[in-house]
């Protein structure tokens, strides 16, 4: 009986110590995340700076009626679809090639873009694609009219290249971690059974790396929403329409002190990301249950 009481007192003491250590983190989370999130939700239903006038869903109706918001949303999700598809597929095949060929010298080359500042890389892209840049000079050599790619529809693909170059090393590292976790015995047994390289990739590599692929896919989606740095560094506050993103829309409304539109846009982005990740997790769980 005495041992039970001592154990219960010890558990209670450990629980109090755990709460004491956790309390600063909880306070920080509430102060910097939970409370501002509730305030943002409240702003979406009010009018004016610091006003408490309740306007219902009028701010939501106004933002959906805004051409700037619709353009930013379309560009953001178009960029999301293209960039995530390209970076996941390309990274997988690069990681597969690095694992098979053991070209270790290429691995540092994939790490370098992660540590190079975005501002420095944007200068290089501006020299290459802006008005009077390298590409314009090459077009002039061949008798073609010079173009400012960053101020044309081609800016979208310049941003895609920028994003891939900056982030592909990270996703390759994640895929390499998944590939290195596959036991070599699987491939040896497959070779004994006469399976070729494509059959090994299809029936061993892809199924075994599927959990890591899902994680990489989610990370790529989240990172694609942070492309405002690249787009802003390339073209500033008001870029060409093809790369006008939701982050541009929110940043410009913040400068104009239009907190209601900013809050609505931020909340809609949160709902979109949450819904997308939730659907993907449900799909993953159903796929795993089906495979079992």
- Quote the CATH superfamily of domain 66-291: MetI-like (1.10.3720.10)
Cα 29 to Cα 13: distance, rounded to the nearest angstrom: 24
253-282 residue pLDDT tens: 888 778 888 888 888 888 888 888 888 888
Q: pTM to 2 decimals?
A: 0.79
Angle in degrees, CA 261, 264, 268, rounded to 5 = 140
Q: First and final CA of the chain: distance in angstroms? A: 47
Q: What is the CA radius of gyration of the chain?
A: 25
Cβ proximity of 228 and 248 under 8 Å: yes
Please give the pLDDT value at position 184: 79
What burial letters (b/e) apply to 57-82, b meaning 16+ CB within 10 Å? eebbeebeebeebebbbebbeebbeb
- Which among 217, 123, 209 has a CA at the least distance from the CA of 171? 217
pLDDT surpassing 70 at residue 50: no
Neighbours of 3 (CB within 10 A): 7
70-129 residue pLDDT tens: 998 898 889 988 988 899 889 888 888 877 766 666 667 777 887 888 777 777 777 777
């Amino acid at each position: 009986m005495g041992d039970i009481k001592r154990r219960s007192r010890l558990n209670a003491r450990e629980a109090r110590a755990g709460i004491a250590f956790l309390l600063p983190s909880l306070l920080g989370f509430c102060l910097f995340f939970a409370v501002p999130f509730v305030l943002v939700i409240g702003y979406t239903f009010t009018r004016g700076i610091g006003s408490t006038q309740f306007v219902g869903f009028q701010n939501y109706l106004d933002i959906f009626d805004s051409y700037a918001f619709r353009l930013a949303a379309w560009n953001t999700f178009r960029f999301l679809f293209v960039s995530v598809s390209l970076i996941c597929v390309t990274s997988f095949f690069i990681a597969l090639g690095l694992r098979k060929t053991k070209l270790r010298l290429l691995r540092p080359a994939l790490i370098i873009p992660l540590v190079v500042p975005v501002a420095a890389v944007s200068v290089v892209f501006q020299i290459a694609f802006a008005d009077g840049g390298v590409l314009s000079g090459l077009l002039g050599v061949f008798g073609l009219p010079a173009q400012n790619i960053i101020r044309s529809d081609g800016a979208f693909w310049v941003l895609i290249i920028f994003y891939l170059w900056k982030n592909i090393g990270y996703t390759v590292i994640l895929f390499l971690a998944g590939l290195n976790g596959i036991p070599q015995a699987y491939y040896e047994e497959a070779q004994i059974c006469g399976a070729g390289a494509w059959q090994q990739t299809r029936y061993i590599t892809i199924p075994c790396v599927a959990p890591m692929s899902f994680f990489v896919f989610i990370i790529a989606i989240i990172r694609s929403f942070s492309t405002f740095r690249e787009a802003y560094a390339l073209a500033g506050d008001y870029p060409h329409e093809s790369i006008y993103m939701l982050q541009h829309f929110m940043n410009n409304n913040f400068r104009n002190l239009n907190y209601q539109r900013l809050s609505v846009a931020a909340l809609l982005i949160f709902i979109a990301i949450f819904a997308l990740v939730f659907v993907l997790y449900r799909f993953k769980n159903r796929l795993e249950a089906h495979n079992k």
